[in-house]
Amino acid sequence: MKSRDTRINFSADAALHTRGESHFIDDAPLAEGLLYAAVLTSPEAHGKIKNLGTKEAQKVPGVRGLFTSEDIPGENQIGVIIPDEPLLAEDTVDYVGQPLALVVADSEEAAGKAVRAIQLEIEELPPVFDPRKAFDKGFLIVPPRIFSSGDVDSAWEECDVIVEGRAESGPQEHLYLETQGAHAFPLEDGGVKIISATQSPTGVQRAAARVLGLSLHKVEVEVLRLGGAFGGKEEQAVPWAAMAALGAFMSKKPVKLVLHRHEDMCLTGKRHPYSSDFKIGLKNNGEIIAYEITFFQNAGASADLSPSILGRTLFHTTGSYYIPNVRATGISCRTNLPPNTACRGFGGPQAMFVMEAAIFKAARALDVEPAVIQKKNLLKEGDQFHYGMRAHNCQALRCWEAVEKRYDCEKTRKRVEEFNAANPLIKKGLYFMPVCFGISFTNKTLNQAGALVHIYTDGSVSVSTGAVEMGQGVKVKIIQVASRVFSIPAHRIRIESTNTSKVANTSPTAASTGADLNGKAAELACRAIYMRLKKEAADELGKENPDEIEIRDEAVYYQGERTDITWNKLIQSMYQNRINLSAQAHYATPGLNFDKGREKGEPFAYHVFGTAITEVSLDCLRGTYEIDSVQVVHDGGTVLNELIDRGQAEGGIVQGIGWLTVEELLYSEDGRLLTESLSSYKVPDIYFAPEKIEVYFLPDSVNPMGIFNSKAIGEPPFMYGIGSYYALLSAMGAFRPERDFEISAPLTPEKVLLSLYG
């Protein structure tokens, strides 16, 4: 199994990466006559633009063009859900870092110098950064949205215990190691070609066409690969690509725009911070009867994907649990921060974090372990979510019980209790974290994909899809699909760059759906050619029924017997006989429907389940801690590539832990990002990441909605990281049993110490 995967991996990108030969956006060969772009951004969080004087800047030697909103040939608008985001600010600025003007010049230095020479006067207006304050003032992105089931208001009467509280979760910088960037080339017919580091080639194409006033067929977007994305290159790759395109279109020269790290950190949006009020009601036996919650989402200055992200928060309000009476209100608040955006989990983690807060507090009120409440309320087969869908093929309890057994949790709990009794200053904490995550774009339209497959006359195969490779292994998975359908080795298959002229109208590679949607489209295209191959082979052999033909390991079999027709020979005959060796196919996820009026329906193709148990050690003298282990049983369906899925799970867990522990973004009072470099924003390093992460894939889980019965893997494991927060809180509780701690992530060593002694 492993050696086979390794071979497949080798033919994709990993080998190139280890040799430093894979190209990222800043590595592409430089074009003749290339111009470098630099962007003037707002130093103020909110204000009126009084003067944008470009005269001096124009005179800087080497400057080839300087563009403001007035120079935009098309529409100055890149907002995708709501048209509320100009590419370059017009009359007002709404956050520190908002682009105001673009300079293209012969060198990076000249472009930078010109940007500094622009005279900018802004009349300050009062900014708002707190989502609750924005709500009070009525600054909303969209009207509030309410999901409900049962009858919450009367359900409180049935409850023995009711607990209320507030939970805060912080923003998270994606910190893809490759910063944002794009190259743009003017084309002879007035169009542009853009090489972009984006998860959404079609999104870039549409935005650039809109800004330049071009029709879509005059804008070609190509993506080779991304050096990490995590949602941060779904919408937010767009401005830089659109600006590069603007520069190239106006100057008729190729333009490169790649952000430096501190620019990237200051100018781009983050995972949304949420402030939430919750109320939970339970029976004495731990059964959850009612749950009411209001989410205040800090959207930043424009909509970006915030409404959609808020939607997923509402879908995942109850996490892995069945609760009969639910009312969840989502409020997307407009503030003067850079527009917050998609980030692994897409609003789901924020919801599950609060659900666990409610359970943690309820457990304290009932004087039981949180695990008692968690296990008792886990989703069972056929349980109805508050949005109407029922849990199908539900693996929640199986995963939980497999964790208990496989990792001997009873023994671990005893060991932790004994440790805590014996150690006054170091305390250990333990927490179960069950995850249930819905797979599909919640915007039904996006659940479609295309693929284009060619077989060349030497028998080698080219596959194009709309999927973008960003380290998640989608190229390898699609190679596996083609390799399996044609029964040829991986090295004969190449996954092409993602290009809007090869596969059009693509959905972003996001929502964990990349392999499912594009893999299914590739499978359909391969199967279409496969049918023709079988017919051709039958003809060659003088047989009537193509169904008795099979291709296995590059040879044609008839009725199970190997013939002397090889793959190469068959391809040659196809060509000689003028039979089409290419196929295009389209896949649309079946069965999705959701009624936004009633907020009920079946928004997901399926759910991914799993449970993690996390153990931590806390130094109660210094407030420092270590995440000792995370042990998981994960439902990956019939796992398509264990090496890749394990890597996605491990990486997701550590990123999730980072979000809740050490990754802290701090802003000045006037809205400037203070933690704008890797020396002040700390992500997990090899020492901080748990040394022990074990991921066991649940056996005997099938999923016909996924590619070859597998399940999507990108996002769900991120939420296992939530366990680290509550494990730490448990350890703090072991040191200060009398204290009821605030729920406010990230739980930095500072917050730990102030909570223990403050």
Smallest distance from another protein to CB 4, Å: 12
User: Which neighbouring-strand residues pair with 96?
Assistant: none
Smallest distance from another protein to CB 18, Å: 4
**Helix ranges, 542-608 (H):** 567-576
CA distance 311 to 333: 14
Nearer to another protein by C-beta: 48 or 622? 622
Query: Should residue 225 be labelled a site residue for another protein when binding is judged by CB under 8 A?
Result: yes
Smallest distance from another protein to CB 223, Å: 13
Smallest distance from another protein to CB 748, Å: 6
715 is catalytic: yes
Smallest distance from another protein to CB 299, Å: 24
Nearer to another protein by C-beta: 440 or 661? 661
Among 680, 699, 704, 739, binds another protein (CB under 8 A): 680
Tokens, residue 610: 């799993």
Query: Should residue 22 be labelled a site residue for another protein when binding is judged by CB under 8 A?
Result: yes
Nearer to another protein by C-beta: 685 or 738? 685
Footprint on residues 624-643 left by another protein (CB under 8 A): 624, 626, 643
Footprint on residues 298-337 left by another protein (CB under 8 A): none
Write the CB contacts of 743 (distance below 8 Å, at least 6 apart in sequence). Answer: 165, 166, 167, 168, 354, 357, 360, 361
Q: Which of 256, 375, 277 is nearest to 320 (CA)?
A: 375
Sheet containing strand 561-566, edge to edge, reads: 549-552, 555-558, 561-566
Stretch that binds another protein, among 3-11, 71-79, 147-155, 322-330 (CB under 8 A): 3-11
Inter-CA distances, 711 with 452, 512, 714, Å: 23, 9, 10
Footprint on residues 736-755 left by another protein (CB under 8 A): 748-750, 753-754
Footprint on residues 227-256 left by another protein (CB under 8 A): 227-230
Query: Should residue 650 be labelled a site residue for another protein when binding is judged by CB under 8 A?
Result: yes
Smallest distance from another protein to CB 512, Å: 15
Footprint on residues 254-283 left by another protein (CB under 8 A): 260-261
Footprint on residues 355-374 left by another protein (CB under 8 A): none
CB-CB contact of 357 with 278 (8 Å): yes
User: Which neighbouring-strand residues pair with 282?
Assistant: 161, 288
Nearer to another protein by C-beta: 3 or 445? 3
Stretch that binds another protein, among 12-20, 147-155, 286-294, 324-332 (CB under 8 A): 12-20
CA distance 375 to 614: 16
Footprint on residues 653-672 left by another protein (CB under 8 A): 653-655, 662, 664, 666
Return the SS3 of 132: helix
Site string for another protein, 170-189 (x = CB under 8 A): -----xxxx-----------
Footprint on residues 377-436 left by another protein (CB under 8 A): 424-425
CA distance 217 to 486: 33
User: Which neighbouring-strand residues pair with 330?
Assistant: 145, 295
Query: Should residue 678 be labelled a site residue for another protein when binding is judged by CB under 8 A?
Result: yes
Tokens, residue 139: 């600054």
Catalytic position from the list 287, 715, 738, 742: 715
**Residue type, position 521, single letter:** A
Smallest distance from another protein to CB 610, Å: 16
CA distance 710 to 704: 8
CB-CB contact of 571 with 459 (8 Å): yes
Size of the site for another protein (CB under 8 A): 79
Stretch that binds another protein, among 148-156, 238-246, 574-582, 681-689 (CB under 8 A): 681-689
Query: Should residue 15 be labelled a site residue for another protein when binding is judged by CB under 8 A?
Result: yes
Residue 229 half-sphere exposure toward CB, CA atoms < 13 A? 32
Footprint on residues 553-612 left by another protein (CB under 8 A): none
Stretch that binds another protein, among 383-391, 431-439, 595-603, 678-686 (CB under 8 A): 678-686
CA distance 319 to 309: 15
Residue 81 CA to its chain's centroid (Å):
18
Tokens, residue 64: 């080839």
Tokens, residue 550: 């099979």
Among 64, 477, 646, 711, binds another protein (CB under 8 A): 646
Stretch that binds another protein, among 16-24, 347-355, 368-376, 559-567 (CB under 8 A): 16-24
Write the CB contacts of 155 (distance below 8 Å, at least 6 apart in sequence). Answer: 281, 289, 290, 324, 325
Angle between helices 722-735 and 749-757 (to 10 degrees): 30
CB-CB contact of 665 with 170 (8 Å): yes
Stretch that binds another protein, among 31-39, 360-368, 409-417, 471-479 (CB under 8 A): 471-479
Backbone angles phi, psi at 267, to 5 degrees: -95, -20
As annotated, the active-site residues are 715
